[in-house]
Amino acid sequence: MIHRMEYTDRNNVISLYLPEDSVPDKNAVEELHQMTGLEETLERLASIPGFFQEGGERIEKIILTPDFHKGFGIPIGTVMMTKGFVIPQAMGKDINCGMRLYTTDLSEEQILDKLPELTKKVRHIFFQGGRQIPMTGRQRQAMFQYGLEGLLETYMDSKSKGLWQYYQPKIQEAWLDCSVFRGSLKADDTEGLKDFIGSYGQLTYDDQIGTIGGGNHFLEVQRVAEIYDGQVANGWNIKKGAVVVMIHAGSLTIGHHSGLLNQKICQEIYPARLPHPENKIYPIPINDSMSNAGKRFWSASQNAANFGFANRLFLGFMIQDVFTSILGACKLDLVYDAPHNYIWKKQISGEEYYIHRKGACCAGGWEEMEGTPFAYYGEPVMIPGSMGSSSYLLRGLGNPDSLWSASHGAGRKKSRGEAIRGNDEAFRQFLEKFHVITPIDPSRTDLKGRTDILKKWEESVRAEAPYAYKEIDPVIEVHKTHKMAALVARMEPIFTIKA
């Protein structure tokens, strides 16, 4: 039986949503235990006058999604609701790593007929300097401080050069309603980003925007294999057999910069007279006495989140450029864009709480989506499987027991090191069955004999191969059983782009 398990640690009752016969990874559980040492840190800080303002600061609830596995300090799949403070580590340093899903007017046959040409064009645009995304310093400033709304106000600076030819302001304005936070978080400052922003009026290029990133990030062209809820699928323009594009990417070095800045803020405000937390997890109070620290934290986090939204937008333009160059003009329509690493503010009974998601999707229901195009069906939830396996589209059911959250994937069952040493036959079968486009083309004749390059390529693909991850179907079943989210459609890969 699929079950929900209650786990008590340092007075925290933690709900684990687990697939049938699943046993949590002992390393992840140990990491969870270390994380709940935060309770001791809160007790110490409560003894310092003025650090906490109201005395009601607490961890309200913790749940673990079905893809729960070890992370760095805080497990992936952790959702935590707090009152009176935030925990930067509980969203990680890849701030606003998230998913973006498009429908297209292409057919699978069109793509398969031109797959060699598409593959060559993908490598040129994604990995060989072919992306053209000029921006002025004014645009970058607007992007960091106002997100996609900032780009909408300044898009004319680009003079439709490069990928900006695909930027249509009326469409972009409509798409704002199809992004969490409208893809736009107002930041007061851009601390530490002056050099990246560059000259205010000059068009320049940077090496970050339009980058997938490493690890399990990807852009995948998929075929809709099954429809489970025809009414919702029709409302979202999801049709069986149609081609869709799923993007999983984050904020890259901008997120890393913001994560380090948040870590610095935490340590600067931590009372010198107290021993530092053994787990190195620090809270930032959200109150008047620590208002400067709170403002700096929100600005740094919003800078990175805004960049993450813009990065996924341009990755969409990049695949549109690939398709247009080889197949002719095509249409991409946005279904949804949502973070799975961020901190949400939520009002409950007139009080403000903070929902931290680290490797977890928001899964709001009708009430949470009121005033958006998704109020009738609930929030779109994108759960990808491992590279080469099915991905799922669901609709959130707004379940408070699961903190309005869902998984962001299947979850690893092997570390990257273990996966690199994985089964040779399974790896061979994977390569034969699935089309994966990476920066290196292992079939190039000039790479014959370059065992160093080919070994590096093979290790990068092995680390993310299907056998490194849990099965996605049992994870999806947990969402159905516990009414976290309801199935809408299943997609299968046509080809996958990975750095």
Residue 453 identity: I
Residue 274: what pLDDT?
94
Is 468 a residue whose pLDDT tops 90? Answer: no
SS (H, E, C) 442-492: CCCHHHCCCHHHHHHHHHHHHCCCHHHECCHHHHHHHHHHCCCEEEEEEEE
In this structure, the number of other CB atoms found within 10 A of the CB of residue 495 comes to 18
Paired strand residues for 49: none
Residue 391 identity: S
Residue with tokens 């961890």: 59
In which band, very low, low, confident or very high, does the pLDDT at 1 lie, cut at 50, 70 and 90?
very low
Residue 55: what pLDDT?
67
Do residues 56 and 263 touch, judged by C-beta distance below 8 A? no
**Residue 207 CA: distances (Å) to CA of 193, 252, 254:** 14, 10, 11
Is 69 a residue whose pLDDT tops 60? Answer: yes
Residue 422: what pLDDT?
67
Do residues 77 and 50 touch, judged by C-beta distance below 8 A? no
Share of residues in the chain with pLDDT > 70 (%): 96
Superfamily grouping for domain 3-413+469-497: tRNA-splicing ligase RtcB (3.90.1860.10)
Boundaries of every domain in the chain: 3-413+469-497
Is 2 a residue whose pLDDT tops 50? Answer: no
Average pLDDT of 138-158? Answer: 98
Q: Which of 351, 470, 462, 372 is nearest to 70 (CA)?
A: 470
> What is the Cα–Cα distance from 196 to 252, expressed in whole angstroms?
13
pTM: 0.94
Q: Which of 479, 464, 491, 404 is nearest to 80 (CA)?
A: 404
